[in-house]
Structure 1
Amino acid sequence: MRFRLLFLTLLVFSVFTQAQSSSFALAENYFRNSEYEKATQLYKDLVNRSPYNTTYLQRLISCYQETTKFEAAQKLLEQKIKRIPKLATLKVMLGYNYERQQKTKEAEKLYQEALNSITKEPGYGGAIGRLFKKYNKLDLAVKAYKETSKFNSNANYGFKIAQIYGEKGDFEFMFNEYVDYLDKNDNYLSIVKRSCARYISDDSEDENNILFKKALLRKSASNPKDVWNDLLRWLFIKQKDYGKAFIQNKALYQRNNDRLISIFQLGEIAFENEDYDTAKQCFDFTIEKTNYQRDKFNAIRMNLQIAVKQNDPEVEQKFDAVFKEFGINSNTFSIQVAHADYLTFKKNKPEQAKKVLETALPFAANKFQKARVKLKLADVNVYQSLFNKALIYYSQIQTQFKNHELGQLARYKVAQTSYFKDDFKWAKAQLKVLKGSATQLIANDAADLFLVISDNQPKDSVPSGLKEYAQADLLAFQNKTTESLTVLKDILSKYKGQPIEDEALFKQAELFVKTKQINKAIENYNQIIALGKEGILADDAYYLMAGLYENEIKDLEKAKEYYQKIIFDFPSSIYLVDARKKFRKLRGDSI
């Protein structure tokens, strides 16, 4: 009998709960669609059935206010306050109801009563702060959260306070709050980084960057912790001050030897951004301090790649010295692959490179390393225009690593090689797949090449210049810059006025920059713009030209002019945000 009664009770409760949930969902739908009269009826019923549910009550009060039924809202709230006088959020709601009617004095009196109540009932402080924030009473929300923290040692509302200061534009207070919040628990480091990132730029002179750095240095002086060095390191990387980031990394390493990997990673970032001096310092430090062979040889390889990038005349001797000291074995595997790349693309010795790769292959520790050797062998074959051999290697890797980044890269290389050998139809088929399913970098490259082929494919057997352009692209890939420039010059003469013209000008400009013919590159970019602002390369031309004026010619007025062109003439450009930031930096604004 008891079991039956319990079952019936649970069944009734379940039906009641489902009905209530259904009513609330319908009421919320009406509320979101501004159908407040319909929502009011449902919320009234919900409040009657669940008189202590503040969500239902807040919604009902909002419905009354949106339909100017302020007296009904006041009457209901006053009844609730009499019934539950300790629930100070009701006074905030009533105060806001007065404020909606322009009764400021009455509203402020109730707001102050709610704040005063936190002393006696700190448990309600968080809810009071949230409600003030909801009503956009930001200063009062800050007061509520701070008052609550005084009387409740377990409460940590620093993050919420910092967010409010950010909304108000009080960035100095915001950064100080984030830092204080982190001081109480450094497990929140990643959250604070994400929150601060929206206010930090790559400009070290930006006011926000300076304020953030000051907050960190103050805290570091009063309470030294690893977390402050970590944040300073992060800030300097954002600002591309890699040398300063290295100093912070070394400070972290002195306290924790496990931090060495961060120094190597910083070296890679500096290398990608062409700060080769800092990159070398990072890799030298790794070589000196590491106890792991893999990290040591990776750092040695990166130092050799720096030498290659800087056209060090002693690169070959440096490779030989490494192999003489450490041998040709599994430890030097990645260095052997890098050496093959150098021999092919810098020294024009592809056959020697193949021998190096064939020697390296047995030292591959796993299938991924073997695949990378095969990818490099395929690249060497493309360099020699042995396309079918290259395609065999690429296809093997594509099949073996179907859903891996290596497989996607191999598929792109299949498409690129097919394009080089004028098989445009097959290249497009591969690129179409990659546009939507590959990693972002590969997808972008695939989309660019797909557009080149689509826009310039011959129609009705009439030459379009695409074959010649693919040849120029191949020569550029082979690092035969002079020959590529010659072919591009012929294209521009033979196919003037055809769609291929802007592509040829753009590729030619890229090679002019590579060979430090800056004025010729700028001339090409101007020609692209002259062909029509509607062209897909016009914003690229403006942006790259602005960069040349800023960094190579040092004509900052011209650079500003071209960044401004993107801001006003190309609102949907991928360069818009960066152009605006650089323009404002050159103008001397606080971003």
Structure 2
Amino acid sequence: MKNLFFLILFTISTFSFAQNTPQNDYLLAENYYREGEYEKATQLFKKLYTQTPFNTTYLGRLISCYQETNQFQEAENLLKSRIKSNNSQVYLYVYLGYNYARQQEEEKAKINYDLAINSLEKNAAYGGVIGRLFKDYSLLDYAILAYQKAMEKNKNANYNFQIAQIYGEKGDYKQMFEAYIDLVDKNEQYFSLVQRYSSKYITDDSENEANILFRKTLLKKSISNPKDTWNMLLSWLFAQQKDYTKAFIQEKALYQRNPVELSEIFTLGKIAFNNNNFDAATQCFNFIKENSTNKDEKIDANLYIAKIAVATKNPDTETLFQSLFNEFGKNSSTIKIQVEYADFLTFVENKPEKAKQVLEEAINYSSSKFDQARIKLKLGDILVFTGKFNKALIYFSQIQTQLKNHELAQEARFKVAQTSYFKGDFTWAKAQLKVLKGSTTQLIANDAVNLFLIISDNEPLDSIPSGLKEYANAELLAYQNKDNEAIAVLNSILENETLKQLNGGFVPITNNVYFKIAKLKIKQQKYEEAILNFAKIIAADNQGFLTDDVYYEMAELYNSLNETEKAKEYYQKIIFEHPSSIYLVEARKKYRKLRGDNI
């Protein structure tokens, strides 16, 4: 019993000791400070500072606590005693100056700030600390002055990056970019860092002030001190602005100086393709075709040239595929081209059986599980196209099992969700889509979110039909290129009196129906009918979630029909009524072009 008593006493003592360690006191004090309980924080930081008077973190927090509780004299006394005991700690003048500033004693504040700056004549090593303190107190001009003074006195010091950041905080983009570019000029190891920090100010709008200043700074530098680095940064800038042709010009210039690496041009071509800029993409991939000596590189470039031919409805697409097979053969190296050809046969030529034969032959050439997955994905698409859903789901599920967490597995999961949606199994489709909303692949994530919203916004409640099942059927028919049948089903949803009665006269899915009909009419080149359907959405609700999509589609249609004034009207609606729209930048660019601005 006696031993037990001593054990309990020892445990309590140990626990109490652990609770009162400096680390625990600091964490508690910091918590009080962050919660705004400055009186409690003051007591703890005072204790910590007394125990460790050379800890600058404790000192800084204690001074701040004094200031927040209006104990300015306490802070002043503490700082003056520290300076008196060790006058080499020149950074303390910044604390003291700010203490006076908090009391509106600006003259005394300035005297101490100047003492801190002037101290760098002899103590340049404190430049970083003094500059950071000025920055923390938002005394940005003083911070710049401190960093510059420190570099002037110590040629090995480099605070250009900190100075550039401060210019950015001040909104002085010209000085900021000049500082960043000077930094790269002196040491190209800063390239990625400068690119990353510049991207905080660069947008996809070429008329954005920061974009213009960055471009001008680079061009000026490239004249005074030509370097490949400036072309690389210009290429990056143009790509951010989606000016892919201009980016290609920079990449081509880089390659011509050093004709070794074509990967940057290939990457640029892919980005241009994914953004539907087929002219710029074609330039990139043709350049690779003409200049590469690597067979695989040539095959990859030709794959995208074939994709562009399909996307632009080139009448010679079949001939193009056959010429590629004649040049490179049907083998493991051309699997992606064979898969693309099967897609073309199914969804453009409406020849799914021939496409199946192509893929069944291709699977014999596949040398990796990834190639097999690509083939199975396309076989699954063809099975959905022909209405064989269960077989398609088997293929998609196999890919998910074999390539967990890979992009192809995520694509397969989306196809499981889409196929389930077509079948009317909305519960299972939603379950798959929930997982995909956080997909690492942005395109898949976006598609997943869009389909999830269609289902969740229109799912039948309490067994009352909502039109979602019919709408999913119409989407399947459109997927199968049965556009007229799809339009008929969509129209039947609008005309279904039973649905209207059950839903109180309004069917929520109506706007989706009109939008889908309009898109199918565009595909059929019946543009006036498309515009009529878009107009019905605006008439019903001009503030709905589809409004900016509708305005952009209408602007594009009128633009293609050379009805400039109407196109400008709808681009303007996006610019002024939907400033957060994903179409804003494109709308602004196209509006300016129609207005005749020299972009």
Paired residue for 1:105? Answer: 107
Deviation at 1:379, TM superposition (A): 0.9
| Change in CA separation of 1:577 and 1:89 when aligned onto 2, cut-off 3 Å | farther
Identity rate, percent = 54
| Change in CA separation of 1:21 and 1:482 when aligned onto 2, cut-off 3 Å | same
Question: 2:537 pairs with 511, 528, 542, which one?
Answer: 528
| Change in CA separation of 1:534 and 1:577 when aligned onto 2, cut-off 3 Å | closer
- Alpha-carbon displacement from aligned partner over 1:472-519 (angstroms, at most 9, x marks no partner): 101221233333223322322225632231221121222234444444
Q: Secondary structure at the match of 1:524?
A: helix
Superposition pairs of residues 349-498 of structure 1, within 5 angstroms: 349-435=351-437, 439-458=441-460, 463-494=465-496, 495=499, 497-498=506-507
Question: 2:577 pairs with 561, 565, 581, which one?
Answer: 565
Paired residue for 2:228? Answer: 226
Are the counterparts in 2 of residues 40 and 64 from structure 1 also a CA contact under 8 Å? yes
Are the counterparts in 2 of residues 508 and 524 from structure 1 also a CA contact under 8 Å? yes
Question: 1:45 pairs with 29, 44, 47, which one?
Answer: 47
Are the counterparts in 2 of residues 252 and 259 from structure 1 also a CA contact under 8 Å? no
Deviation at 1:364, TM superposition (A): 1.1
Distance in 2, Cα, partners of 1:479 & 1:276: 24
Question: 1:502 pairs with 511, 523, 532, which one?
Answer: 511
Distance in 2, Cα, partners of 1:107 & 1:461: 73
Deviation at 1:283, TM superposition (A): 0.8
Distance in 2, Cα, partners of 1:289 & 1:93: 62
Distance in 1, Cα, partners of 2:20 & 2:260: 54
Paired residue for 1:170? Answer: 172
Deviation at 1:374, TM superposition (A): 1.1
Is residue 91 of structure 2 the alignment partner of residue 89 of structure 1? yes
Paired residue for 1:148? Answer: 150
Paired residue for 1:63? Answer: 65
| Bigger Cα displacement from structure 2, 506-515 vs 580-589 | 580-589
Are the counterparts in 1 of residues 131 and 142 from structure 2 also a CA contact under 8 Å? yes
| Bigger Cα displacement from structure 2, 206-215 vs 487-496 | 487-496
Are the counterparts in 1 of residues 552 and 583 from structure 2 also a CA contact under 8 Å? no
| Bigger Cα displacement from structure 2, 490-499 vs 267-276 | 490-499
Deviation at 1:43, TM superposition (A): 1.8
- TM-score scaled to structure 1, two decimals? 0.89
Deviation at 1:451, TM superposition (A): 3.4
* Counterpart residue identity of residue 340, structure 1: A
Deviation at 1:103, TM superposition (A): 1.3
Deviation at 1:28, TM superposition (A): 1.3
Are the counterparts in 1 of residues 552 and 570 from structure 2 also a CA contact under 8 Å? no
- Alpha-carbon displacement from aligned partner over 1:245-267 (angstroms, at most 9, x marks no partner): 11111222234445311101111
Deviation at 1:102, TM superposition (A): 1.4
* Counterpart residue identity of residue 519, structure 2: E
- Alpha-carbon displacement from aligned partner over 1:274-318 (angstroms, at most 9, x marks no partner): 222221111111122223322110111111111122221111111
Deviation at 1:33, TM superposition (A): 1.6
Are the counterparts in 1 of residues 515 and 534 from structure 2 also a CA contact under 8 Å? yes
Paired residue for 2:292? Answer: 290
Are the counterparts in 1 of residues 574 and 583 from structure 2 also a CA contact under 8 Å? no
Is residue 521 of structure 2 the alignment partner of residue 512 of structure 1? yes
Deviation at 1:551, TM superposition (A): 7.7
| Change in CA separation of 1:239 and 1:436 when aligned onto 2, cut-off 3 Å | closer
Deviation at 1:398, TM superposition (A): 2.4
Paired residue for 2:278? Answer: 276
| Change in CA separation of 1:428 and 1:105 when aligned onto 2, cut-off 3 Å | closer
Distance in 2, Cα, partners of 1:239 & 1:344: 35
Distance in 2, Cα, partners of 1:416 & 1:347: 23
Deviation at 1:425, TM superposition (A): 4.0
Q: Secondary structure at the match of 2:363?
A: helix
Distance in 1, Cα, partners of 2:444 & 2:138: 45
Are the counterparts in 1 of residues 571 and 587 from structure 2 also a CA contact under 8 Å? no
- Alpha-carbon displacement from aligned partner over 1:406-442 (angstroms, at most 9, x marks no partner): 2222222122222223333443443344445674433
* Counterpart residue identity of residue 352, structure 1: K
Deviation at 1:125, TM superposition (A): 0.9
Are the counterparts in 2 of residues 546 and 562 from structure 1 also a CA contact under 8 Å? no
Deviation at 1:370, TM superposition (A): 0.7
Backbone CA RMSD of aligned residues = 2.8
| Bigger Cα displacement from structure 2, 95-104 vs 440-449 | 440-449
Are the counterparts in 2 of residues 564 and 583 from structure 1 also a CA contact under 8 Å? no
Paired residue for 1:19? Answer: 21
Distance in 2, Cα, partners of 1:430 & 1:203: 36
Is residue 310 of structure 2 the alignment partner of residue 308 of structure 1? yes
Paired residue for 2:256? Answer: 254
Distance in 2, Cα, partners of 1:548 & 1:230: 36
Distance in 1, Cα, partners of 2:293 & 2:589: 46
| Bigger Cα displacement from structure 2, 125-134 vs 210-219 | 210-219
Q: Secondary structure at the match of 1:508?
A: helix
Are the counterparts in 1 of residues 205 and 585 from structure 2 also a CA contact under 8 Å? no
Are the counterparts in 1 of residues 551 and 571 from structure 2 also a CA contact under 8 Å? no
Deviation at 1:528, TM superposition (A): 2.5
| Change in CA separation of 1:560 and 1:399 when aligned onto 2, cut-off 3 Å | same
- Structure 1 unmatched runs, 5+: 1-14, 568-574
Superposition pairs of residues 124-203 of structure 1, within 5 angstroms: 124-203=126-205
- Structure 2 unmatched runs, 5+: 1-16, 501-505
| Change in CA separation of 1:250 and 1:584 when aligned onto 2, cut-off 3 Å | closer
Distance in 2, Cα, partners of 1:75 & 1:91: 13
Distance in 2, Cα, partners of 1:278 & 1:438: 26
| Change in CA separation of 1:439 and 1:321 when aligned onto 2, cut-off 3 Å | closer
Are the counterparts in 2 of residues 128 and 144 from structure 1 also a CA contact under 8 Å? yes
Q: Secondary structure at the match of 1:259?
A: coil
| Change in CA separation of 1:584 and 1:198 when aligned onto 2, cut-off 3 Å | farther
* Counterpart residue identity of residue 29, structure 1: N
Distance in 2, Cα, partners of 1:417 & 1:252: 46
Distance in 2, Cα, partners of 1:54 & 1:577: 47
Are the counterparts in 1 of residues 411 and 444 from structure 2 also a CA contact under 8 Å? yes
| Change in CA separation of 1:461 and 1:425 when aligned onto 2, cut-off 3 Å | same
- Alpha-carbon displacement from aligned partner over 1:129-155 (angstroms, at most 9, x marks no partner): 111111111111001011111122222
* Counterpart residue identity of residue 342, structure 2: A
Distance in 1, Cα, partners of 2:450 & 2:209: 38
| Change in CA separation of 1:582 and 1:500 when aligned onto 2, cut-off 3 Å | closer
Distance in 2, Cα, partners of 1:470 & 1:387: 14
Are the counterparts in 1 of residues 338 and 359 from structure 2 also a CA contact under 8 Å? yes
- Alpha-carbon displacement from aligned partner over 1:390-415 (angstroms, at most 9, x marks no partner): 22222222222233222222222122
Superposition pairs of residues 201-216 of structure 1, within 5 angstroms: 201-216=203-218
Are the counterparts in 2 of residues 456 and 500 from structure 1 also a CA contact under 8 Å? yes
Are the counterparts in 2 of residues 232 and 245 from structure 1 also a CA contact under 8 Å? yes
- TM-score scaled to structure 2, two decimals? 0.88
Distance in 1, Cα, partners of 2:156 & 2:523: 60
Paired residue for 1:12? Answer: none
Are the counterparts in 1 of residues 522 and 530 from structure 2 also a CA contact under 8 Å? yes
Are the counterparts in 2 of residues 301 and 335 from structure 1 also a CA contact under 8 Å? yes
Distance in 2, Cα, partners of 1:557 & 1:194: 37
